[in-house]
Chain A
């Protein structure tokens, strides 16, 4: 696979189809990789692929530093590829402005990431070139998709409050979660707005609650469950549970799954006249 990947990258750079290839390179130890930005055909040997390729490289599509390098080809796993579908729908990128190198993937991380357990995109849903043998994508039921929420949804109101307060208490407001997120792309985040100050910037439980709720909520109908935010959180807050909860409600109420179909209307940018309102008096 690595050879095919390098060959494709070389060809794309040589033909000037793209100016840069965003991919994975070897890290300082075998269990790590790092993002690399290859601009010269002779450097393609720096590209690698293995189960430690955890990053969702699409986050570099929102960064000025990488965009400056010109038209990218980008190496994506199936989960990462969903991001591109959303970015297109959100008018953040144009399909023709990127070249997608999809890699088939059977799971990353050691132990494997949670998302890989119920992965239904081992073969990416969108790509220009596929690297690796095509894998038949599995199908999971609604219940299976959100099974990890069960034990938390079962808790009593007080237990839920206590659990999350204990989690949010640890937040140091480093904003790594929103910086890494490829779909958190506002030029100026609500946390940076201080006239008025919507979210208390100190690591105080009051602001920690509003920050964590707001971050998750702003990604409702958008988050594609790459789990990057949770991976980078230095406080080990299970952000993924919040994201998943929102994904579940979005699917339940609006039959929408983010990143699966480029023809679907964005769940939170549209409405139906008969949307659920059984909680409204």
Chain B
């Protein structure tokens, strides 16, 4: 496993426009550094983040995912995050039941004022997933039927 030290996880972060995205932006304008492994996808609300988005991220080679939005009570649309939380409460155990480590899909509430919490959260996700290693199981099924350099083999790091 000489490659292990070289492994850099790909993290996809689904952020709501009003809170966590603004929080991440605040971290940026405040010149707070965080690990560059994350690809941010901005959406209007956590309530609009279909769990299929998360599956899709894994299909495209993500090793870990963060879903983050407004704290309870702060949703721009009043209740989007409450509905989202319900879904996560059942979706997360379903994936776990299917053998997906729940640490690969993490959830947080980060407000527009919490630049510091954003940095801490995303660094935490990157570190945890780095320790878990590449999501080999998923990358293996993604690559079935295509040669390793083909489009479906999305993990450049692990081959």
User: How far is A275 from B51 in the complex, measured between Cα atoms in Å?
Assistant: 19
Contact with B along A184-218 (1 / 0, CB 8 A): 00000010000000111000111001100110110
Cβ of A163 under 8 Å from chain B: yes
Say which residue of A204, A270, A281 sits within 8 Å of B145 (CB atoms).
Answer: A204
Pick the most buried of A245, A250, A270, A279: most chain B CB atoms within 10 A of its CB: A279
A-B contact count (CB 8 A): 115
Stretch at the interface among B10-18, B37-45, B98-106: B98-106
Tally of B interface residues using CB under 8 Å:
40
Say which residue of A152, A161, A242, A271 sits within 8 Å of B83 (CB atoms).
Answer: A271
Contact with B along A217-261 (1 / 0, CB 8 A): 100110000000000000000000110011001100110000000
Say which residue of A160, A273, A276 sits within 8 Å of B97 (CB atoms).
Answer: A160
Scan residues 83-97 of chain B and give those whose CB is less than 8 A from a CB of chain A: 83, 85-97
Whole-angstrom distance between the Cβ of A9 and the nearest chain B Cβ: 40
Chain B residues, CB < 8 A from A165: 99, 137, 141
Cβ of B82 under 8 Å from chain A: yes
User: How far is A164 from B82 in the complex, measured between Cα atoms in Å?
Assistant: 30
Q: Say whether, besides A198-B56, A206-B142, A271 and B86 are in contact (CB < 8 Å).
A: yes
Q: Is the CB of A271 within 8 A of B82?
A: yes
Contact with A along B62-92 (1 / 0, CB 8 A): 0000000000110000010011011111111
Say which residue of B72, B95, B97 sits within 8 Å of A152 (CB atoms).
Answer: B97
Contact with B along A154-181 (1 / 0, CB 8 A): 0001111111110000000000000000
Give chain A's interface secondary structure class: helix
Known: A209-B98, A210-B52; 8 extra A-B contacts, CB below 8 A, are A206-B141, A214-B52, A246-B94, A249-B90, A267-B86, A275-B89, A277-B85, A279-B107
Q: Is the CB of A161 within 8 A of B86?
A: no
Cβ of A153 under 8 Å from chain B: yes
Q: Is the CB of B124 within 8 A of A281?
A: yes
Whole-angstrom distance between the Cβ of A246 and the nearest chain B Cβ: 6
Say which residue of B72, B90, B99, B108 sits within 8 Å of A217 (CB atoms).
Answer: B90
